[in-house]
C-alpha cells in the first residue's frame, strides 16, 4: 500500500508516519529527513537545499522528485510506503503518479491531518528532533524519557533551526499557498481521501489513521 500523509508543518506527520511505518513494516519516506541527512553528509543536494530549508521555502520540485524516484527504485516492489512531507506541490504529485505507475504502484490513500494554526505554532515551539534517526518528541505532549536525549538511539535532540517562530510562519504560508491545493488534486479520487483531526493524543490519532486505511 502507498499512503501519503498530508498536512501543515507541526501537525504530527513525522510522529504518525514513523508509528505507521513501524507497525505495518512499511518504508517511511520523509523528504525533510532525507534532505537533513544530505545536509549532515555535505552532499551537493544537501548544500543546494540548505538555503531553501533555512528560509522555510520549498526545495525545487526537480531535486525532490529525483530524490524520491531514487528511493522508490531502490525498494522491493511489494514494500508498502508512507510518504511524509511529499508531495508538497501539484507538479510533485503529478510526478509521483507517473513514477508509481512505472513501478506498477499507485497512490492508495491520502490521509490529511488537520489542526488550527495556534496548535501548530505551539507544537513546533515544543518540538525536539533527533538528528540521527529522525525520531520526533515534544516537550509538552510527548517528552523523551531523558530530557534532551533520543529514546531510540541516544543522540542529543535538537530544536530544528527552521522551527524558529519567523520561519514557522513562512512555512505555514507556504503550506497554504502550495501544498493545500493538493487536497483538491486528490479529492476527486474515489475512496482515496481521509481527513483526521490532528489535535488529539498520539495514540488516538494513530488509531484514526489506521481505521482510515
Give residues in contact with ligand AMP (CB under 6 A).
Answer: 9, 31-32, 35, 52-53, 56-59, 64, 85-86, 88, 92, 162, 171
Query: Among residues 146 and 176, whose Cβ is nearest to ligand AMP?
Result: 176
Cα–Cα distances in angstroms (integers) from residue 34 to residues 95, 105, 134, 189, 201, in the given order: 18, 22, 9, 29, 27
What residues does 6 pair with on adjacent strands? 112
- Cα four-point dihedral sign 126, 130, 136, 139: negative
Least distance to ligand AMP, CB of residue 97, Å: 15
Tell me the closest approach of the beta carbon of residue 88 to ligand AMP, in angstroms. 4
CB of 83 to ligand AMP, least distance (A): 9
Question: Active-site residue among 24, 122, 152, 160?
Answer: 160
Q: What does the alpha-carbon distance between residue 45 and residue 67 come to, in Å, rounded to a whole number?
A: 9
Closer residue to ligand AMP, CB minimum distance, 56 or 208: 56
Find the largest Cα–Cα distance for the chain: 46
Task: Pick the catalytic residue from 88, 105, 123, 128.
Answer: 88
Nearest residue (CB) to ligand AMP, 77 versus 161: 161
Q: Is 88 a catalytic residue?
A: yes
Q: How far is the CB of 100 from ligand AMP (least distance, A)?
A: 15
Report the DSSP beta bridge partners of residue 114.
197
Q: How far is the CB of 129 from ligand AMP (least distance, A)?
A: 8
- CB-count exposure of residue 192 (10 Å: 0-12, 13-18, 19+): middle
| CB of 32 or CB of 208, closer to ligand AMP | 32
User: How many angstroms separate the CA atoms of 119 and 102, rounded?
Assistant: 39
13 tagged catalytic: yes
Our answer to whether residue 36 is catalytic in this structure is: no
Give the SS3 label for residue 198. Answer: coil
Nearer to ligand AMP, 37 or 192 (CB): 37
Phi, psi of 64 (to 5 degrees): -70, -45
Catalytic residue numbers, as ranges = 13, 88, 127, 160, 171
Amino acid at each position: 500500500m502507498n499512503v501519503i500523509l498530508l498536512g501543515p508543518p507541526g501537525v504530527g506527520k513525522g510522529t504518525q508516519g514513523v508509528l505507521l511505518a513501524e507497525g505495518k513494516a512499511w518504508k517511511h519516506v520523509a523528504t525533510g529527513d532525507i534532505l537533513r541527512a544530505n545536509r549532515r553528509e555535505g552532499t551537493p543536494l544537501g548544500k543546494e537545499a540548505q538555503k531553501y530549508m533555512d528560509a522555510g521555502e520549498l526545495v525545487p520540485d526537480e531535486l525532490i522528485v529525483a530524490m524520491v524516484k531514487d528511493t522508490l527504485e531502490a525498494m522491493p516492489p511489494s514494500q508498502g510506503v508512507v510518504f511524509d512531507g511529499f508531495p508538497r506541490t501539484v507538479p510533485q504529485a503529478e510526478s509521483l503518479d507517473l513514477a508509481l505507475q512505472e513501478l506498477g504502484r499507485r497512490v492508495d490513500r491520502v490521509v490529511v491531518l488537520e489542526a488550527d494554526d495556534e496548535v501548530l505554532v505551539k507544537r513546533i515551539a515544543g518540538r525536539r528532533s533527533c538528528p540521527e534517526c529522525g525520531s520526533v518528541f515534544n516537550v509538552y505532549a510527548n517528552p523523551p524519557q531523558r530530557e534532551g536525549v533520543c529514546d531510540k538511539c541516544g543522540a542529543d535532540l535538537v530544536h530544528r533551526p527552521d522551527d524558529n517562530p519567523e520561519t514557522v510562519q513562512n512555512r505555514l504560508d507556504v503550506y497554504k499557498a502550495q501544498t493545500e491545493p493538493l487536497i483538491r488534486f486528490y479529492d476527486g479520487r474515489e475512496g482515496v481521501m481521509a481527513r483526521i483531526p490532528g489535535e488529539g493524543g498520539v495514540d488516538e490519532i494513530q488509531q484514526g489513521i489506521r481505521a482510515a486505511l
